A = this chain, B = another copy of it.
Amino acid sequence: MSTTAKSETQLQNCARILVKCPDRPGIVAVLSSFLHKHDANIIESSQYSSDPENGTFFIRIEYHCEQLVRKRDEMEREFASIAAEHQMEYSFHYRAIRQRAAIYVSKETHCLMELLWEWQNGDLEMDIAVVISNAEAARPIVESLGIPFYYIPANKDIREQVEQQQIRLMEEYKVDILILARYMQILTPNFVSHFENRIINIHHSFLPAFIGADPYTRAFNRGVKLIGATSHYVTNDLDEGPIIEQDVERVDHRADVQTLKKIGRKIERRVLANAVKWHLENRIIVEENKTIVFH
């Protein structure tokens, strides 16, 4: 059997379970015994408790299990009663089932390019189902990779009808995750509610500094010595959603707004790519407008 084929089979047998429940002794024992009973081997495990006394407990377990495809329905059924007993919220995620992404982009394509690059390298566990843009700039590169590209002009006057078209496309393409790769359009509460904790945005500032429009100009005017970017889940409060990842670069008085934008593009690229990667690997749990990220 070739290495690749073997590796594909291994992926078929890999899964993750995310659990959230009241913190009390024995939770790890319950979970690990359940997995052991089904001959699953724990590959990676990360946990967090909001408070050792009466807090909430979160855990992500990645496991490997021979014949997983055959066994998983039974495992899920059995787990349902365990979960009920311990008041667990939980979800299973199978590596064999790749998430389907829609990437939204404007004429600024640097974040899209980075995502395509990482995706081609095999670093992003997703299929790119569709790219949607209010500009034509990205069409050639997107279509050259065989990915459907839709040009949908957007502005605030036609927002609702545009969003209805987009929602239909998301359904048609069975999209799991929406990535706003510098899309630069505000979304309505209706749209956001369709995709709770599944829309990832990149904001071009170190939030909560410079919420809203034109952050680089405002950073320039304030004379900051570091500029940043923030990737977060989109909620109905502009730039107030749960932060997934942030990073910064050093700048000095010589940097004008154009230079800040150039430097900023490098930060935006890597911050968004990291956030998407962790989302796809089911490393993120959203809790009370904050994220737990199990690196």
Contact = CB atoms under 8 A, between A and B. Distances in A.
Task: Indicate how many identical chains form the complex.
Answer: 4
Given A41-B24, A47-B42, A223-B243, A291 B208 contact: no
Interface stretch (A146-154, A176-184, A244-252): A244-252
A167 interface: no
B247 A226 contact: yes
A224 interface: yes
Contacts of A266: 270
A42 B36 CA distance: 19
Contacts of A226: 206, 228, 246-248
Interface of A is mostly: mixed
Interface residues of A, number: 60
B32 A28 contact: yes
A81 to B, nearest CB: 18
Closest 3 CB pairs of A and B: A223-B290, A29-B32, A28-B32
Given A28-B28, A223-B243, 7 more contacts: A28-B42, A29-B33, A32-B33, A33-B33, A41-B52, A207-B222, A225-B245
13 contacts: A25-B41, A27-B42, A28-B28, A44-B47, A52-B64, A121-B262, A207-B222, A207-B224, A208-B210, A222-B243, A223-B243, A225-B244, A225-B245
